[in-house]
Amino acid sequence: MATINDNYLKLKAGYLFPEIARRVNTFAEANPDAKLIKLGIGDVTEPLPAACRTAIIKAVEEMGDRATFKGYGPEQGYPWLREKIATHDFQSRGCEIEAGEIFISDGSKCDTGNILDIFGKDNKIAVTDPVYPVYVDTNVMAGHTGDADDSGKYEGLVYLPITAENNFTAEIPSEKVDLIYLCFPNNPTGATASKDYLKTWVDYAKANGSVIFFDAAYEAFITNPDLPHSIYEIEGARDCAIEFRSFSKNAGFTGTRCALTVVPKTLTAKASDGSDVELWPLWNRRHCTKFNGVSYIVQRGAEAVYSEEGQGQVKALVNFYLENAKIICDQLTAAGLTVYGGVNAPYVWVKTPNGLSSWDFFDKLLNTANVVGTPGSGFGAAGEGYFRISAFNSRENVDEAMQRITDKFKV
């Protein structure tokens, strides 16, 4: 008889966002006339930049002509896109990243889970708390953890609390860990990291033979010129870090799907016999074996991000969502709520009022204001008592949602 991967049975009852959807659907069925405003998941709402749309349309037309038709492309991505990424996103900031170290994929969410394929099962893994749930759940699925306790923490993971007291930036662990997940600007708290702070992690990783998984999906929202956009702006990071990026939030590709992972050719880890093994060939083999590449049409759209028109349009899109974040912060602060993030980041991290739990605040907001957010406890035990609000929505919806919330929750 066929057997299953028992590790899936360790997962908590529902992944955070499907559970949110379940509660929202239940409410909507019972209240069909209610106008819901969803500020929960980080899905964009504004149209793709015109430069990207034009490039995609042109690429579709090319697919209709035998002379310009494209079938399978390079699994790693077309060179013309990888070269533009290397030049614009990394080399322009002093990062020694070459096009051949960049792998194009259909999502950084996928890659942060898939990267585990090339690492062993005995690594000690550190995650922040709260944390993007995918980091934890994919390790559970891969058999890297024990069972979860009553607070939702899994045996075998090292949890690094991020709280208001440490400015939502985790302290270096006192014990040795092998794999470290860092996300800046942070999801869910909106916190950012200085170069000095990231340098402490790079130094730790190099001293302990650790590898940092650096999720930079929201780097485009950084407006402070003193903040780093990439882990590779830190000296030595090529020898200890893998970086994940996405076109989803800066250029609105959540429904179009295009992202990238950087694996430096200088990065190594240990084999079971103690020898040093380069990670680039392992990831290249995994990528080519399990992935056929992002479509030519989508990659042409992503390439247009780096055109003069595309750069201006993407900047305008990012600024639009940052203005939404400012409105959310300003309105909630004026109502007496305590907020964090929302600057250099598209997420606002709200302290729930009057001692309400994260899910109680979610339900109250849904039922009284018809606004959907994300319970902080869904990101980990340390997220209890907080609530994430996303700036990804129309201005009209953001303005109305803030009016509804402040009417109901003035402190």
Annotated binding site: 15, 42, 72, 108-109, 132, 187, 218, 246-248, 257, 292, 388
Contacts of 26 (CB under 8 A, 6+ apart): none
List phi, psi (to 5°) of 387: -150, 130
Q: Which two tokens stand for residue 182?
A: 């860092």
Instruction: Count other Cβ atoms within 10 Å, centred on residue 336.
Output: 11
346 C-beta neighbours (distance < 10 Å), count: 26
Rounded Cα distance between 395 and 377, Å, is 27
Q: What angle do CA 240, 243, 249 make, to 5 degrees?
A: 160
CA dist 137 and 205 (Å) reads 23
Please name which of 284, 293, 344, 285 lies closest in space to residue 319, comparing C-alpha atoms.
344
**Annotated binding-site positions for pyridoxal 5'-phosphate:** 72, 108-109, 132, 187, 218, 246-248, 257, 292
Give 357-360 contacts, CB < 8 A, sequence gap 24+: 357/384, 357/385, 358/383, 358/384, 358/385, 358/386, 358/387
Contact between 56 and 247 under an 8 Å Cβ cutoff? The reply is no
Binding site for substrate, residues?
Answer: 15, 42, 109, 132, 187, 292, 388
Q: Are 51 and 307 in contact (CB under 8 A)?
A: yes
What is the CB-side half-sphere exposure of residue 258 using CA atoms within 13 A?
A: 28
Crossing angle of helices 296-303/50-62, nearest 10°? 150
User: Which residue carries 């800066």 as its tokens?
Assistant: 250
